[in-house]
Amino acid sequence: MGIYLSTPKTEKFSEDGENGKVRYGLSSMQGWRATMEDAHAAITDLDESTSFFGVYDGHGGKVVSKFCAKYLHQQVLRNDACSAGDLGTSLQKAFFRMDEMMRGQRGWRELAILGDKINKFTGMIEGLIWSPRSGEANDQVDDWAFEEGPHSDFSGPTSGSTACVAVIRNNQIVVANAGDSRCVISRKGQAYNLSRDHKPELEVEKERILKAGGFIHAGRVNGSLNLARAIGDMEFKQNKFLPPEKQIVTANPDINTVELCDDDEFLVLACDGIWDCMSSQQLVDFVHEQLRSESKLSAVCERVFDRCLAPSTAGGEGCDNMTMVLVQFKKPIVSSSPVEDSQSKPSEMESK
């Protein structure tokens, strides 16, 4: 449930941007929650032909979502599969790489910095007793595992984060998702889910959880986590006899590849603070309505928050952190194909 404030923090942090192919607006709001644990990334030009958008919804703390927002898109580019044109494989490896990078001395140090555990008088990270600076100038993140220090045996954070990202390259969009943040596309006003919410009661998730030695109680993994997939949450990834994709909780993302066409209007990425209050189709309808009178996309996101924010914490819905990225496609787009999941059955990606 989380801890709630006596009055919600309704200040919104918003931005807008564009390039030759897309324009975007995004916003985030803390709401009733005692802390803000969401993070996001919006890079219109990840390289000369690629845009990257991501929403990360943290739980148990903000450090993992902030870590993903800072590093996940970098790892997509670093993978050889990306330059070879295989964005799906590159995204999958980047998700797993987040867990790897958060272990050990350097992972611990970066998480400490992102967690703002810094003494404001001395400028030092609280509890940080050893901090080498070699290799940091050129950000050689792949060397992290070899850095030694007092926290070299750090197994990674017990907190975690969802990750739902959309990579647009030419006329193709590749969505990678772990958790219950969601990506939805509007095609001729119809909402199509490009991701699937990874809840423990889903059969494929339940089967993996039980085989790995976990259990489900009250809709939560081991009675604790209401997600079946996430980055971080290392306490659920301790079985040394299983690969990362078969752990109780896994960072393994579903990958969905779609060819864009002229009927595609916009894409929405949002955390479950939105989807708890509106269905995919309701949100698409609301965005369409707002775009008739508002051209600034971040302002549309802000209106969604105002629509979802609960008047009190009595019901629970509308009390979560809220983050939303709205991406509008610039015309023309010439190719056409059905909205279909490359890994799941087409019926699982039906309009909502």
Query: 305: part of which helix (H) or strand (E)?
Result: helix 297-308
- 157: nearest Cα among 98, 215, 200: 98
**How far does CA 136 lie from the centroid of its chain?**
26
Query: 285: part of which helix (H) or strand (E)?
Result: helix 280-291
What pLDDT is attached to residue 83? 85
Average pLDDT estimate for 192-219: 96
Q: What amino acid is encoded at 4 in this protein?
A: Y
What pLDDT is attached to residue 162? 98
DSSP letter for each residue of 142-184: GGGGG--STTTT----S-EE-EEEEEEETTEEEEEEESS-EEE
What's the Cα-to-Cα distance from 248 to each of 24, 162, 228, rounded to whole Å? 36, 15, 8
Q: Is the pLDDT of residue 343 over 90?
A: no
Sequence-distant (≥ 6) Cβ neighbours of residue 40 within 8 angstroms: 26, 28, 53, 54, 55, 56, 69, 323, 325
Average pLDDT estimate for 246-259: 97
**What does the block give as tokens for 94?**
């980047």
d(CA 220, CA 249): 11
Place of tokens 């967690």: 115
Q: For the CA atoms of 101, 40, 204, 220, what is the dihedral angle to 10 degrees? A: 90
Task: Output the 3-class SS for 42-87.
Answer: EEEEEECCEEEEEEEEEECCCHHHHHHHHHHHHHHHHCHHHHCCCH
Q: Is the pLDDT of residue 124 over 50?
A: no
- Report the range of poorest mean pLDDT among 74-78, 167-171, 229-233, 341-345: 341-345
Average pLDDT estimate for 250-258: 97
The CA-to-CA distance between both ends of the chain, in Å, stands at: 26
For the entire predicted model, the pTM comes to 0.90
Domains and CATH numbers, the chain: 4-102+156-337 (3.60.40.10)
d(CA 211, CA 241): 12
Q: How many helices (H) and strands (E) does the chain have?
A: 8, 15
Q: pLDDT tens-digit profile of 1-11?
A: 468 999 999 99
Higher pLDDT residue, 152 or 308? 308
The CA-CA-CA angle for residues 131, 150, 249, to 5°, reads 105
What pLDDT is attached to residue 190? 97
Under the banding of pLDDT at 50, 70 and 90, the label for residue 91 is very high
d(CA 92, CA 252): 7
- Report the range of poorest mean pLDDT among 66-70, 101-105, 127-131: 127-131
Average pLDDT estimate for 206-228: 96
- Under DSSP, the state recorded for 88 is H
d(CA 265, CA 247): 38
Q: pLDDT tens-digit profile of 137-177?
A: 344 556 677 788 888 889 999 999 999 999 999 999 999 99
Place of tokens 């579903």: 254
